[in-house]
A and B are shown apart, each in its own frame.
Chain A
Amino acid sequence: DAKTTQPNSMESNEEEPVHLPCNHSTISGTDYIHWYRQLPSQGPEYVIHGLTSNVNNRMASLAIAEDRKSSTLILHRATLRDAAVYYCILTNDYKLSFGAGTTVTVRA
């Protein structure tokens, strides 16, 4: 699987947007970009995924660079419940390989 690079941690203030970057310079044409998050003591939760175009859902937005070598997960208004580890994962089959992710801290 192609590798992703994420910052170890990010801090945000409550009700402010959070932009989580992910670099994936070796992405292949068939790789989907998935984002999951894991709250403390829970299993990972699907956030969003995309292939080439930007995607929006009720949780977040995914902005994919034109060359697909990077992407950004956008949480539009962070809440305390968004504090979690966020994983950016590339997959072109039915398996997911998790890296270390980005630990997001939200300040009240």
Chain B
Amino acid sequence: SQTIHQWPATLVQPVGSPLSLECTVEGTSNPNLYWYRQAAGRGLQLLFYSVGIGQISSEVPQNLSASRPQDRQFILSSKKLLLSDSGFYLCAWSVRGGWGNTIYFGEGSWLTVV
């Protein structure tokens, strides 16, 4: 069966510090990968998605970047965090190809920028 892991689960970072959130998917090959963010009291916002190694699409301009160094690994990064980067970050995956496929989410990472 397929599983998705993301870490760390929680972190508190000072403004201006770097960020790295990692996500890996197991039990499948060539998945579509996603990073979503949910700010406090707000809806889920798609930040990045990837359909293959090295292929990253950004949905919104921001202080963050994403990379996919391996087929089942997706990394969310920032060089300098802002207070507005605080939120609940979710990695997700779906089966490559076709449309209307189900997206499966990880358990999320809580980021507080202080």
- Cβ of B44 and Cβ of A98 under 8 Å apart? yes
Question: Which stretch, B12-20, B65-73, B79-87, B100-108, touches the partner chain A?
Answer: B100-108
B32 — which chain A residues lie within 8 A by C-beta?
94
Taking CB as reference atom, which chain A residue is nearest B49? A95
CB of A79 within 8 Å of the partner chain: no
Give the CA-CA distance A43 to B23 in the complex, in Å: 14
Contact call B99/A43, Cβ cutoff below 8 A: no
Q: 8 Å CB contacts to A: which residues of B40-63?
A: 43-46, 49, 51
- With a cutoff of 8 Å between Cβ atoms, the chain B residues found around residue A99 in the complex are 43
Known contacts: A94-B49, A97-B46. The answer to whether A46 contacts B103 by CB under 8 A is yes
A contact residues around B102 at 8 Å (CB): 34, 46, 49
Main DSSP-derived SS at the B contact region: strand
Complex CA gap A92/B96 in Å reads 14
Binary interface encoding of chain A residues 8-49 relative to chain B, with 1 for a CB under 8 A from any of its CBs, else 0 = 000000000000000000000011101000100111111001
Q: In the assembled complex, which residues on chain B have CB atoms less than 8 Å from the CB atom of A49?
A: 100, 102
| A95 and B104 within 8 A (CB) | no
> Taking A44-B44, A100-B43 as contacts, is the C-beta distance between A94 and B106 under 8 angstroms?
no
- The one of A32, A38, A42, A44 in contact with B99, judged by C-beta atoms closer than 8 angstroms, is A32
Once A94-B32, A94-B49, A98-B43 are accepted as A-B contacts, the answer to whether A51 and B100 lie under 8 Å apart by CB is: yes
- Is B112 engaged at the interface, CB distance under 8 Å to the other chain? no
B92 at the interface (CB under 8 A from A): yes
Q: Which chain A residue lies CB-closest to B94?
A: A94
| CA–CA, A9 and B46, complex, Å | 23
**Which of A's residues lie within 8 Å of B, judged by CB?**
30-32, 34, 38, 41-46, 49, 51, 91-101
The 10 A-B pairs at the shortest CB distance, nearest first, are namely: A32-B100, A43-B105, A98-B44, A43-B90, A94-B32, A46-B102, A93-B99, A43-B108, A44-B105, A92-B99
